[in-house]
Structure 1
Amino acid sequence: MASVSMVPSIRRLDETVVNRIAAGEVVQRPANALKEMLENSLDAKATNITVTVKDGGLKILQIQDNGIGIRREDLSLVCERFTTSKLTAFEDLMQIGTYGFRGEALASITHVAHLTITTRTADSKCAFRARYTDGRLREDPRPCAGNVGTQILVEDLFFNMAARRQALRSPAEEFNKISEVDSGAPRPCPAQVSRYAIHNSSVGFTLKKQGEPAVYLRTPPRSSALDNIRTVFGAATAKELLQLTHEESSLKLSVSGYISGVNFAAKKSTMLLFINHRLVESTALRKALEQVYSSYLPRHAQPFIYLSLQMAPEMVDVNVHPTKNQVYFLHEDQIIELIQKKVDSLLVGTSAARTFYTQTLLPGASSAPPAADLPPAKAAARPQQTVRTSHRDQKLDTFVRQAAAAGAGDGENGAAAAAGAAPQSVRPVELSSVLSLREEVERGCHSGLRRLLAEHSLVGVVTAQLSLVQHQTRLYLVNHRRLAEQLFYQICLYQFGALGLLQLEESPPVRELALLGLEQKDAGWTEEDGPKEELADCVCQVLQRHADMLDDYFSIQVDGQGRLRALPLLLDHYEPPIAALPGFLTRLATEVDWETERQCLHDICREIARFYSWTPATDGAVGEPARLQLERALLPAVKEQLLPTGRWADDGTVLQVADLPDLYKVFERC
């Protein structure tokens, strides 16, 4: 028998150890930390949320919103455990209507990372910045500049948990868990920005990597769930979805969402389930719906399901798991059976439209079914219904002699003398003037044109300014120069303060470039304007005077000697037209309203956009370098990012030139 002295005594764990253990349970990886912060932003009634990530969120994970902010006097409590504004008594859980309620999320993050909060409320004259370690303030909050809302910056996640950090996947895979539609996991990762963007379609979401000009995800505010599904999962998925709505008063239940029809089949199942707006998992419901689809889809084919369930709060128990991605609810079997029947009735109603094809066997061929499963046969499209699906299909170039394509215009977009694109740090500043300009863009977005540009296939580049594209069975002539100008304007707005840097090998004097710009035919210079030399000096002085602002916000670097050091890098693999540089610098100094903040930023963005989208005034053939830039960089970016304005439907920017069914009617009459 062991002696009493050999029996270990029970001791109370140190508070730091307790908190770190709890933190490891709540924050398992960067995606979990982001989920908690996203939900806080949504609880704060934000309408715009921007997420910035570096090294998969392990180095930097930043979220910025325009919500109600945090009061200065609450900053000392906000990162302590079990402090919250959403719950006062345990009974309140029965009526909880917010995402958060425990007061553990931010506290947990501070025990495994360095956390900084910058926030401002509507009635505060300035913002306040506070830094935290182990749930406590490092120092008193300091006043700083900032807009209404909150920015949370998480740095060096799991810096003090080497085993946890080593167990995580590569930064690229961790970023996929934050951003990608399907992370490859057997169950959906609950922290994906895309899933919150689909369900919260009234909120604008932006996801980007720090220092990179490309935006990985952007959905405009006041959108729709279907539009955001199209943005995230693609047009091929969106067009196959069926809308599901149902209300059951006896269960105080409302069901809405979109499910794929019988003609949709994916390799992996996708299920987005929200219960009372909370992203959760339900293995029972998933299996029940997969059982329904097994009667309609080919073997190994999987459906797409997005469901939002609204039920009385007292029917749902959200306090099940620290990550809050599991819930229990009353009448679970009855609710699952009801949803099963509703989905089945929708699929039955559409299955009559399915077509199955048979093939006559060749003499001597066996009639036995093959051992391996084959993909379902596809119907041969009628000629008048043929839809181009890829820019790799036969293009206009096939019908044009190569000599012509390689002739005129080879040097139009002369190679930029760049030593490389040095990424610029993302600034935490969100000016109200920039936000209002973004809102203006989003408010003017035309949904029909947006769908056309997002789903189009390139037929070919016609001239330096025009291209042919196909959408469904219609052929359109688009002015890609105007599309490019609007695209670059929007990039300047949405990457404000975080544009890439295009370092110039040689730093030309701004004054000499201005002289060249004034001598160009379209400069508009007359003798009444004064000597060109004096105007060139003025251009140089103006740009030097505003050099700090141009560098910080737009990556345009003019040094103290009046030399141009760098230009903004707006798009990967797209070089600005150096031939237009003199005119750009001249207009930048003379056409910008430097006195009014909003107008100044608008004018600078416009001038940068005009510079980047400049094309020679010619209707001749497009040179090979310019054509490749259009096909490989510009038009794909238009497809993914551009929010088109409604006036393009009337001013000839997007012009329908043919419709295949109508053309075939003409041919039939002939």
Structure 2
Amino acid sequence: MELDSSPPRGTKRKGDDSLPLPAPRRIKALSQDVVNKIAAGEIIVAPVHALKELIENAVDAGSTALEVVVKDGGLKLLQIKDNGHGIDKEDLPILCERFTTSKLKAFEDLSSIGTYGFRGEALASISHIAHLTVTTRTKESSCAWRAQYADGKLTSPKPGQSADPKPIAGQPGTQITVEDLFYNVPSRRRAFRSASEEYAKILELVGKCAVHCLGVSFSCKKHGDNSSGVSVPANASIIDRIRVIHGSALANELVNFKAENERWGFKCEAWISNANYSSKKTTLLLFINHRVVESAAIKKSVEQTYGTFLPKGGHPFVYLSLDIEPQRVDVNVHPTKREVHFLNEDEIIAIICDEVRDSLSKVDTSRSFMTQSLLLGPKVPFATPMKQTTPGTPDAGDSSDRSGPNPRSKPFTKKPYENNLIRTDASARKITSMLKPHPSRDGNVDEDDEDMEIQYGNRDAVICKLQSIRELRDEVRDNMHNELTEIVSTHTFVGVVDEQKRIAAIQGGVKLFLVDYGMLCNEYFYQVGLTDFGNFGAIRFSTPLPLDEILRIAVDQEKKNAPETADEIDWDEVIEAVKAQMIKSSRMLKEYFSMEVTAEGELCSIPLLIKGYTPSLAKLPQFLLRLGPHVNWFEEKGCFQAFLRELASFYVPESLPVAPTPITNPEDDIGKGKGKEKSTAAEDPDIALRRQKVRRAIEYVIFPACKARLVATKGLLKGVMEIANLKGLYRVFERC
């Protein structure tokens, strides 16, 4: 029997010295084509990186308008057009060669670089992995020149043609077209999952650049689309640019601060969200010496600073522009210039975080909160979606679910829990029905309306075909909040809580909410203006009102409210300007808004938005005065939107003084330890009458109308607060 002669496991084996050693590999220089493609792969990782380089070159060229067109996420087509100073024809042959630049001459220039691009690698890298076409014209040139490139060299558009640039008609500036990106790098092209994802990255990049580059307009859209994904005008301010890119909800909650330190050689300006705003992830727009970069250290420090101000899971928005002395910054540390290194990083970050903390502390006293539940524990949604209610058919579940019998439900009926036995149906009897009815309680007409002569016309309804009104209606629908709309459409009105702060209580399902009815009415009347546009009724005055006198009343009120600035304004000129504008626009006002203004400057009628409610005519002078400076009469959509907003504000019930409290006589019922009500503090009769009318209109006219047709928008969330949850309260009692 033969034994296995192989060494046991765990012992070191020696190499076979009898085998010949392989010959050593010689070091060879890579071919230039391989070198260029490797360099291109480091700089252009995705279409968004190519666009970043092209945007930076366009801004360096002094452009004030950039237009970006994208197809298939930039893989099929990526085109950017600017109105900069262009490229000289003599420079076109070497335009796409590596390390050709007009921004850098010596290595020492890196210590004072003040432009976005400086290495001359962007166009060269793109030309090695895509088909590149450049069309450019300088101001001095009589025509534009078009050149095509491949592998860094000029190439002919068709076989047999010359590769020299071709003269064509064109406007001053440069248009760069990148087609079939990564056509010769299939492994890189297969790595992209979807065109929509790449397009989203491009929109994010364009949005960042649009926020920072003041004086430059940006436009980005898909090829073939009429509408732009991003569109920012050149004259927009930083806060307006943030509003366009990130929405009004954020722009309304921004805080601005500036900081500088001579010792560390930096200045900074920032727009940050206050404690009223939070999102699911941190948005950091960081620019160092006007270059968009990323910094994990700055992001982490800012998030830690916000941790004491935001709720758990909330994240801020921060736009930060840092200007650091160039000799303290090293910009040449990353192929795509995504990162930079600078001296005294920790000290600068500490100063910035201190400024963030101070800015948030200053506005923290006016902080508002959106509540979700009265109890700690499992997270619950803002509101439980309500279903159509049918009286008398309670189910075993939530009382807000009182729909008809379900064919798939079990044949037996469960006994409802006690905590669900509450009134959630508006048609059920209320305790106020046991009181003595008011003469106008079941109608929509106030006592002072008895003198009004109501006339019904036979005019056919006008179908509005204006594109501007359609766009405004679409904006309302796009901004709709489904759960809040469901609550309003199925609510039960509880009562007015405070006429001064304009707060009312409503019940939705098993929850009780406080509602800012001022915000609610403003949005409702604005939507009425959009839906009934061109079909308003009219409140006609028996005697026409002279605009001069009405506007003079508003001016006197303005002088009382702001006496320090009253002398700086020529109010007589303001009155004449507003009056002239209304007379000039009288035809449009009458046709679209049923507001009649005579050529002599007399007001004959104002729009009627809802029957049964007349707005306070004390607000009429201020409404007419604001139509002058707050309405853009020369732009259709802006004019209609601003006018309807001012009209809605005019129709919002006014804020009334706090109702007087009863006066008690402490001598009565002394033995019982309490006073007996004797009389009530005197209140102005006109205010008391108006308070009664406002309460009646809110409960019996406005809130039922909101229930029938209001589309609750996301902005109304600030005016709604949950204060009670019956199920939650029962959980408390069960624990006790």
1:18 matched residue in structure 2: 35
Q: CA 1:223–1:291 in structure 2 vs 1: closer, same or farther (change >3 Å)?
A: same
2:83 matched residue in structure 1: 66
Within 5 Å, which residues of 2 pair with 1:204-215?
A: 204-215=217-228
Q: CA RMSD in A?
A: 3.7
Greater mean alpha carbon deviation, residues 293-302 or residues 32-41? 293-302
Residues 245-288 of structure 1: per-residue CA shift (max 9 Å, x gap): 12222222111121011111101110000011000001001000
- Residue 657 of structure 1 aligns to which amino acid in structure 2? L
1:397 matched residue in structure 2: none
Question: How far apart, in 1, do the equivalents of 2:464 and 2:524 lie?
Answer: 33
Name which of 150, 165, 172 aligns with 2:189: 165
- Residue 221 of structure 1 aligns to which amino acid in structure 2? A
2:52 matched residue in structure 1: 35
Query: Post-superposition shift, 1:346?
Result: 0.9
The SS at the match of 2:366 is coil
The SS at the match of 1:218 is strand
Q: CA 1:408–1:160 in structure 2 vs 1: closer, same or farther (change >3 Å)?
A: farther
Query: Post-superposition shift, 1:214?
Result: 1.8
Within 5 Å, which residues of 2 pair with 1:258-407?
A: 258-355=271-368, 369-370=376-377, 372=378
1:395 matched residue in structure 2: none
- Residue 668 of structure 1 aligns to which amino acid in structure 2? R
Query: Post-superposition shift, 1:653?
Result: 8.0
- Determine if the alignment matches structure 1 residue 654 to structure 2 residue 654: no
- Residue 234 of structure 1 aligns to which amino acid in structure 2? G
Identity of aligned residues (%): 45
- Residue 47 of structure 1 aligns to which amino acid in structure 2? T
Name which of 202, 216, 223 aligns with 2:236: 223
Q: CA 1:100–1:480 in structure 2 vs 1: closer, same or farther (change >3 Å)?
A: farther
Maintained 8 Å contact 2:276/2:369: no
The SS at the match of 2:337 is coil
2:424 matched residue in structure 1: none
Question: How far apart, in 1, do the equivalents of 2:265 and 2:62 lie?
Answer: 25
Residues 582-603 of structure 1: per-residue CA shift (max 9 Å, x gap): xxxxxxxxxxxxxxxxxxxxxx
Q: CA 1:472–1:223 in structure 2 vs 1: closer, same or farther (change >3 Å)?
A: farther
Query: Post-superposition shift, 1:6?
Result: 2.3
Q: CA 1:452–1:60 in structure 2 vs 1: closer, same or farther (change >3 Å)?
A: closer
Query: Post-superposition shift, 1:51?
Result: 0.2
The SS at the match of 2:78 is strand
Within 5 Å, which residues of 2 pair with 1:136-535?
A: 136-138=153-155, 139-180=163-204, 192-355=205-368, 369-370=376-377, 372=378, 475=526
Maintained 8 Å contact 1:457/1:470: no
1:668 matched residue in structure 2: 691
1:125 matched residue in structure 2: 142
Q: CA 1:224–1:482 in structure 2 vs 1: closer, same or farther (change >3 Å)?
A: farther
Maintained 8 Å contact 2:472/2:530: no
Maintained 8 Å contact 2:255/2:273: yes
Maintained 8 Å contact 1:80/1:136: yes
Residues 283-325 of structure 1: per-residue CA shift (max 9 Å, x gap): 0010000001111111111110100011211111100101001
Maintained 8 Å contact 1:298/1:376: no
Residues 561-598 of structure 1: per-residue CA shift (max 9 Å, x gap): xxxxxxxxxxxxxxxxxxxxxxxxxxxxxxxxxxxxxx
Maintained 8 Å contact 2:372/2:380: no
Structure 1 residue ranges (4+ consecutive) displaced by more than 3 angstroms after TM superposition:
1-5, 355-361, 372-377, 407-413, 451-460, 469-483, 617-620, 643-653, 660-667
Question: How far apart, in 2, do the equivalents of 1:475 and 1:51 lie?
Answer: 35
Question: How far apart, in 2, do the equivalents of 1:116 and 1:355 lie?
Answer: 54
Question: How far apart, in 2, do the equivalents of 1:258 and 1:474 lie?
Answer: 33
Greater mean alpha carbon deviation, residues 166-175 or residues 150-159? 166-175
The SS at the match of 1:307 is strand
Maintained 8 Å contact 2:67/2:81: yes
Q: Where do 5+ consecutive residues of structure 1 fail to align? A: 181-191, 362-366, 378-406, 414-448, 461-468, 484-616, 621-642
Q: CA 1:338–1:277 in structure 2 vs 1: closer, same or farther (change >3 Å)?
A: same
Q: CA 1:111–1:471 in structure 2 vs 1: closer, same or farther (change >3 Å)?
A: farther
Query: Post-superposition shift, 1:357?
Result: 8.7
Q: CA 1:263–1:376 in structure 2 vs 1: closer, same or farther (change >3 Å)?
A: farther
Question: How far apart, in 2, do the equivalents of 1:359 and 1:227 lie?
Answer: 31
Question: How far apart, in 2, do the equivalents of 1:100 and 1:322 lie?
Answer: 11
- Which structure has the larger Rg over C-alpha atoms? 2
Query: Post-superposition shift, 1:348?
Result: 1.3
- Residue 74 of structure 1 aligns to which amino acid in structure 2? D
- Residue 210 of structure 2 aligns to which amino acid in structure 1? A
Q: Where do 5+ consecutive residues of structure 2 fail to align? A: 1-16, 156-162, 384-458, 481-519, 535-590, 595-630, 657-686, 694-736
The SS at the match of 1:323 is coil
Question: How far apart, in 2, do the equivalents of 1:19 and 1:482 lie?
Answer: 62
Q: CA 1:409–1:16 in structure 2 vs 1: closer, same or farther (change >3 Å)?
A: farther
Question: How far apart, in 2, do the equivalents of 1:350 and 1:411 lie?
Answer: 47
Q: CA 1:669–1:376 in structure 2 vs 1: closer, same or farther (change >3 Å)?
A: closer
1:84 matched residue in structure 2: 101
The SS at the match of 1:53 is strand
Q: CA 1:644–1:272 in structure 2 vs 1: closer, same or farther (change >3 Å)?
A: farther
Q: CA 1:409–1:316 in structure 2 vs 1: closer, same or farther (change >3 Å)?
A: same
The SS at the match of 1:117 is strand
The SS at the match of 1:73 is helix
- Residue 170 of structure 1 aligns to which amino acid in structure 2? S
Q: CA 1:125–1:470 in structure 2 vs 1: closer, same or farther (change >3 Å)?
A: farther
Question: How far apart, in 2, do the equivalents of 1:81 and 1:411 lie?
Answer: 62
Question: How far apart, in 2, do the equivalents of 1:218 and 1:341 lie?
Answer: 35
Count how many residue pairs are aligned between Structure 1 and Structure 2.
424
Question: How far apart, in 2, do the equivalents of 1:292 and 1:202 lie?
Answer: 32
Which structure would you say has the larger RCO, counting Cα contacts within 8 Å and 6 or more residues apart?
1
Maintained 8 Å contact 1:197/1:205: yes
Question: How far apart, in 1, do the equivalents of 2:334 and 2:71 lie?
Answer: 28
- Residue 276 of structure 1 aligns to which amino acid in structure 2? N
TM-score scaled by length of structure 1: 0.58
Question: How far apart, in 2, do the equivalents of 1:258 and 1:646 lie?
Answer: 32
Question: How far apart, in 2, do the equivalents of 1:358 and 1:112 lie?
Answer: 53
- Residue 353 of structure 1 aligns to which amino acid in structure 2? S
The SS at the match of 1:321 is coil
- Residue 691 of structure 2 aligns to which amino acid in structure 1? E
2:71 matched residue in structure 1: 54
Question: How far apart, in 1, do the equivalents of 2:58 and 2:144 lie?
Answer: 17
The SS at the match of 1:352 is helix
Residues 524-569 of structure 1: per-residue CA shift (max 9 Å, x gap): xxxxxxxxxxxxxxxxxxxxxxxxxxxxxxxxxxxxxxxxxxxxxx
Question: How far apart, in 2, do the equivalents of 1:359 and 1:237 lie?
Answer: 21
Query: Post-superposition shift, 1:91?
Result: 0.3
The SS at the match of 2:123 is helix
Q: CA 1:66–1:263 in structure 2 vs 1: closer, same or farther (change >3 Å)?
A: same
- Residue 153 of structure 2 aligns to which amino acid in structure 1? R
- Residue 123 of structure 1 aligns to which amino acid in structure 2? E
- Residue 209 of structure 1 aligns to which amino acid in structure 2? K
Question: How far apart, in 1, do the equivalents of 2:641 and 2:248 lie?
Answer: 25
